A and B are shown apart, each in its own frame.
Chain A
Amino acid sequence: MGVRDWLNERLRYEAAETFLEKKEVPVHRYAVSYYTGGITLFFFLIQVFTGLLLLMYYRPTSDAAFESVRLIISKVRFGWLIRSVHVWSGNGMVAAVILHLLATFFGRAYRKPRELTWISGVALLAITLAFAFTGYLLPWNTLAYFATQVGTEIAGDVPLVGKALLVLLRGGEDITEATLSRFFGIHVAILPALITLLLGLHLLLVQIHGMSRPISVRVTGSERFFPEFMLRDFIVWVALLGGLAVIATLVPWPLGEKADPLAPAPAGLRPEWYFLFMFQALRMLPARILGLEGEMVGVTLFAIAGVVLLLVPFLDRWAARERSHPLVSILGVVALAFAVVMTALAFLTGL
């Protein structure tokens, strides 16, 4: 009995091989959108790998956090590369997950029977943003400190539970070491546990239902998932790895100055690009709307938008009947244009 047979007898991997041999990917003009999920997965794996390495030196206290990151980038062999790749790849993951969501939305890939795949995907988007938000504070530099202050203040505007949510996030009234250790715990334990479960479910559902074919798009054929599509995926991954290496080396992510809670907030303070549209929109709202606090109304509207996004498969009844209704596309374009215009406005006004 050879090793292969011995392993197969115990792992039954032949079943997986058979599954992969049979799995096919539709070929059509928008087939490139199938890579967005794989790209997100690539960035996720990079995050796990680099995050584990950073964990060996990072110390989550207000006294030591900044110095430990400085140690990583200045003294630890290739620490600068690992940290820079982690930050750039984190940004890449947010961008990829947004692209994946858009491809899925406009391709109506959420329609029956993939409702749960969509819901788990939206939850994964939320977790990715939570990863980005909590990770941003960890170097404990000035920008991170004050951006987190602003960000948690927005959470404090959530109606009814805002104050409790703010205290829960910060571990008190203010951003302190309690906030740092809380964010660290969330970033390296709670969110990884959640993402592992949800990503497992998401990938399982993708395997069960296969690749979705966009409505009213002519499918010109199909190709095998293994090895053809997978090889293409790997080529994309390898290209991305090269891109990451280039950007992380030539544009290392700056560390900035150590946070000083007693110092005034620096000028030009703004959240990261993926939260900018929300921040700009809240900023533009009047102080009072219908007698209610403007920001609170804004946060409520964003929360409603989040719920609507989650329920898209159940709201778009046309898609369930294999119909691509223009209203859904128009709403999607309007939402996307809103986010793009608000982000551009924030950049133009020097927020």
Chain B
Amino acid sequence: MIRPRAALLVLLVAVAAGALTLTAGPIPLPVGGRVRAAPASARDSCTNCHDGLGGRLAVPAENIPYDAHTRSELRCAGCHGGDPTRVGMDAHDPAAGFRGKPRYEQIPQFCGRCHGDPAFMRRFNPSLPTDQLARYLTSQHGQRLAKGDLRVAVCISCHGVHPVRPVNEGTSPVFSTNVPATCARCHSDTARMKPYGIPTTQFAEYRESVHGQGLLRRGNRQAPACNDCHGNHGAAPPGVASVANVCAQCHSATRDLFVRSPHKRAFDTLGMAECTVCHGTHNIAFPTDVMLGQEKGSACLQCHPAGTAGLNAAVGMRGSLEEVKGAITQAEGVLKRASSAGMDVTDARLDLDEATSQLIRARAVTHTANPPEVQKVTAVGITAAGRARAAGEAALAELVFRRRGLGVSVAVIAFVAVLLWLKLRELKRTSG
């Protein structure tokens, strides 16, 4: 039984704490899961009382079955302290370690008590890192929080609370496909971002980018979300010097080519952020060959006016790409014709695949900004496409041979049939 006076006291304390939270950090929390009563195994005096309180105070008790901590047999008291074996407000005994609801600015330390303790975490999930708090303190969020800015994100702003869902569950706000929307809850909020003077278009741009399309439309979890470039607990914008390294986490081969290019030294001298100069940041579009050369949409034209050596080099590299593309298109046409006529061109398709691989490689090699090097790769591709085309043409020649052979065979067969028919007629005539 809950004593009415104790319940009233809990209610007052909770309302006061809630009011403090509302004024301190009004970051909208991720929505929890379905609400249902906690199973018997997860119930104790905390859930028994809080269920009865209803409204906001009941939410933690209702959601505890979905909380990652509950799965590790940690319940309310695991974070909030107190004695769940005692009933009513007796359970909130400070002597039993009750620490109640932390203030907003206390949350990182509150979570870090356990998540920063390797010995403690090993008991539950040895693979989980324990440097989150340390990283958070170096992040923009952590540094601003330390200066008393209560509008920045803390642990629960991204991970949610009551329940804190496991990161690898699709319903978690920090599951890879949910990360962009989770960040956007604050970073797309113009009012919230105004004091910081940072743009709020990142999510809209990212959503349409090659990375956003991959992650959000096609569900390809290998495509990067915000945290893959900015870091998660140590979230900060990558500086000019580190952009290439950030991109190289995935595009390492391209980075290795780029560092050999004259662009590397020029960008370093000019303080330009390497990859982003041509590809953009959040709005990175699917790269096309148009980016190279002198057409509208060329990235080269940003710095190299017409007639300069730089643009000539770009045009040369584009020409090499077009040459191999042309060879591939021609070979594809021949193979398609042969294949639709029922000819087996499997081996020729392997050559065509080789040509396509070389085209892809050549596109990467354009990051060296070295036309002869690009041409060396495209030459291999052109040769492979030539082999494919020759095999396709041989198949088509064989097709012609077959059809001619068929014509001759049918003529012979028809001749035999006529002879047989004449013989039959003769037999009929002689037999009367």
A and B from one assembly?
yes
Q: Taking beta carbons and an 8 Å cutoff, which residues of A are in contact with B?
A: 70, 73-74, 80-81, 227-228, 231-232, 234-235, 238-239, 241-242, 245-246, 249-252, 254-255
Partner of A254, one of B342, B402, B413: B342
A245 B409 Cβ-Cβ under 8 A: yes
A242 B424 Cβ-Cβ under 8 A: no
A242 B417 Cβ-Cβ under 8 A: yes
22 A-B interface contacts by CB (under 8 A)? A70-B346, A74-B346, A80-B344, A228-B427, A228-B428, A228-B431, A231-B424, A232-B424, A234-B420, A235-B420, A235-B421, A235-B424, A238-B413, A238-B417, A241-B413, A242-B410, A242-B413, A242-B414, A245-B406, A249-B403, A249-B406, A251-B342
B344 A70 Cβ-Cβ under 8 A: yes
Q: Which 3 A-B pairs rank lowest in CB-CB distance, beginning with the nearest?
A: A252-B342, A242-B413, A74-B344
Could you tell me the distance between the alpha carbons of A242 and B410 in the complex, rounded to whole angstroms? 6
Partner of A245, one of B410, B416, B431: B410
B416 A238 Cβ-Cβ under 8 A: yes
Whether a CB of chain A sits under 8 angstroms from the CB of B423 is yes
Instruction: Find chain A residues with CB under 8 A from B410 CB.
Output: 242, 245-246
- Interface size counted on chain B using CB atoms at 8 A: 21
CB-CB nearest in chain A for B399: A249
Could you tell me the distance between the alpha carbons of A227 and B421 in the complex, rounded to whole angstroms? 12
Closest CB in chain A relative to B299 CB, distance in Å: 40
Instruction: Find chain A residues with CB under 8 A from B421 CB.
Output: 235
Could you tell me the distance between the alpha carbons of A90 and B294 in the complex, rounded to whole angstroms? 61
A250-B406 in contact given A73-B344, A74-B346, A228-B428 (Cβ < 8 Å): yes
Partner of A249, one of B402, B428, B431: B402
Could you tell me the distance between the alpha carbons of A115 and B306 in the complex, rounded to whole angstroms? 94
A231 B427 Cβ-Cβ under 8 A: yes
Could you tell me the distance between the alpha carbons of A235 and B405 in the complex, rounded to whole angstroms? 21
CB-CB nearest in chain A for B403: A249
CB-CB nearest in chain B for A81: B402
Closest CB in chain B relative to A67 CB, distance in Å: 10
Instruction: Find chain A residues with CB under 8 A from B416 CB.
Output: 238
Could you tell me the distance between the alpha carbons of A228 and B432 in the complex, rounded to whole angstroms? 13
Instruction: Find chain B residues with CB under 8 A from A81 CB.
Output: 402
Known: A231-B420, A245-B413. 14 other contacts (CB 8 A): A70-B346, A74-B346, A227-B427, A231-B423, A231-B427, A232-B424, A235-B420, A235-B421, A238-B420, A239-B417, A241-B413, A242-B410, A254-B342, A255-B344
Closest CB in chain B relative to A227 CB, distance in Å: 6
CB-CB nearest in chain B for A244: B413
Residue interface mask B187-209, A partner, CB < 8 A = 1 = 00000000000000000000000
Instruction: Find chain B residues with CB under 8 A from A251 CB.
Output: 342
- List B residues 268-291 near A (Cβ within 8 Å): none
Could you tell me the distance between the alpha carbons of A232 and B421 in the complex, rounded to whole angstroms? 8
Instruction: Find chain A residues with CB under 8 A from B347 CB.
Output: 74
